[in-house]
Structure 1
């Protein structure tokens, strides 16, 4: 389960930047991205090793600088982590792992 991130307290204040980024994604044809999914990317990936405190302007800059490809690489990896694969045949598994 996801724990609270120290930047969660800024989420309401930076919501306009998040909305702007989601609108950009939508204009590029990726309108299925939800606000929570983008926030999860930011807190899990972008700010994972953020040791220093950031000013709100830096947080907004991080949000606005998210690239579609970076987000979808993260989303794809997370989807694979959560997926359960079941192989009825050991040979299928070995073939996949070659």
Structure 2
């Protein structure tokens, strides 16, 4: 049974690239995106099918290529998958509109 993602091995090594990308997100106004969320996007969406014998520079390049719009699109879809709001329930509707 496989635990984690194949590229998790590189995570600490590419941390500066992740931080740089998060800085870019913050400059564009997306201050609440965390390193964990960005890594989740990369492993679940961008690297869904990991390459064999991938090189470190390829991983860094793919991190730096992430567009804010691609991440936000992914995060929106994930939020819809997880959201279980009952719009008939007044309290849950108020939470949604906050």
RMSD over aligned Cα, in angstroms? 1.5
Counterpart CA distance in 2 for 1:47 and 1:69 is 17
Larger Rg: 1
In structure 2, the partner of 1:32 is 32
In structure 1, the partner of 2:94 is none
Deviates more, 1:13-22 or 1:80-89: 80-89
- With structure 1 as the length reference, what TM-score do the two structures score? 0.83
Deviates more, 1:68-77 or 1:78-87: 78-87
Counterpart CA distance in 2 for 1:28 and 1:54 is 30
Counterpart CA distance in 2 for 1:54 and 1:9 is 11
In structure 1, the partner of 2:81 is 81
* TM superposition shift of 1:54: 1.2
Deviations 1:18-45, CA, capped at 9 Å, x for gaps:
0000000001111110000000000000
Q: How many residues align?
A: 87
Gap regions ≥5 residues in structure 1: 90-98
